Structure 1
Amino acid sequence: MSAESHLYIPYHVYLQQTLSNTEQHTIASLLRLLPTDCISDIQMTDVIDDVQPIVRIKNMVDGRGLACPMPLLKTKVALRNVASGESLYVVATDPNSQADITAFCQQTHQMDGDNQLLLTINQMTKPQTADNTLSEPSDTIFHFIITKTDSN
C-alpha cells in the first residue's frame, strides 16, 4: 500500500429544517446522482445521529443553465447566510464553475479570516442514455458541497 492511499468514508448528509420541502426534495434527488462513495445517507431532519463524517446542508445554489461567473457570484452571496459548521450545496452546468468554485475555496485558506471554506464534495455527474452511452455535455452537472469551517 502506498503512502498516498486514503480510506475514503462517504458523508452522511442532513438537510436542515430551514430548507423548504421543495428544496429538500430537489437537493435529495440531485445528491442521489452522486456515487455512493461520496454520499452514504441523506436525511431530512435536524436530528443528527452519532455518525461521521457529517455534512449539514443549510442552503442550495441552483446554477444549472447559468453561464460563468453567475454560479460563483450566487455562491458568494449564499455563503453569507451559512454559519461555521454548516454547508452550502451548489449545482452548476457550466464547466468553468468547477475551476471558479475550487479556486475560490482554496483562496480562503490563504486569507486571515474568521471562517475558511472547505470544498467537501467536488464531483461531476453525466447522465447515461437508455443504451448506456453518455449523454450530451450540456447534461453534465457539477456538484459542490462547501462547508464553512472555523479557522481557529
Structure 2
Amino acid sequence: MSKKKEPNIWQGFKAFLMRGNVVDLAVAVVIGAAFTNIVNSVVKGLINPLVGAIGTTNLDNYKSCLSASCPGNQGVQLLWGSVLGATLSFVITAAVVYFLMVLPMAKYLARVEARRKAREGTHEVIEVTELEVLQQIRDELVAQREGGRNGR
C-alpha cells in the first residue's frame, strides 16, 4: 500500500489565498475603505453644514434624566442626543451612498444591458409551466383518440 502524500500547511494556505473569492474580498475591503473616506467627506463637508444651518451640528449634549435629581451627573441619564446623532449620520450617509453612487450605477448598468440586448436582438422566451405542458399532452391524446374513432 502506498501512503498518500498530504499537502503541507503552506500549500493549503497558498491554495486558500489563490481562490478567486478571497482575492475579490480583499479588493472589496480595500476599495470599501477608500470609498468610506469619500462618503465621510461628502457627509462632513456638505451635508452636516446644511443640517447645521437648520439646527445644531452636535446632538451629543442632549440628554434626559430618569430620576428626579440629575444635577452633577447624579442619577440615571439617557443620552438620547448621541443615539439620534448616530441615527441621523447613518441615514444621511446611506442617502449619499444611494443617490450619488448606487442609483447612477444602476441606471448606467441598465443602459449597458439595453444596448447589449439591442445588439443581440431580443429573443422572447416563453415559459410554460408543467401544468400547461400536461394539459397540452392531454389535449393531443384526446384529439388522437377522437380522430381514431371517427376514422373507423
Same fold (TM over 0.5): no
Higher normalized strand content (fraction of residues): 1
The structure with the largest alpha-carbon Rg is 2
TM-score range, shorter chain: under 0.3
More contact order relative to length (CA 8 Å, sep ≥ 6)? 1
Question: How does the TM-score come out when normalised to structure 2?
Answer: 0.21
Question: How does the TM-score come out when normalised to structure 1?
Answer: 0.21
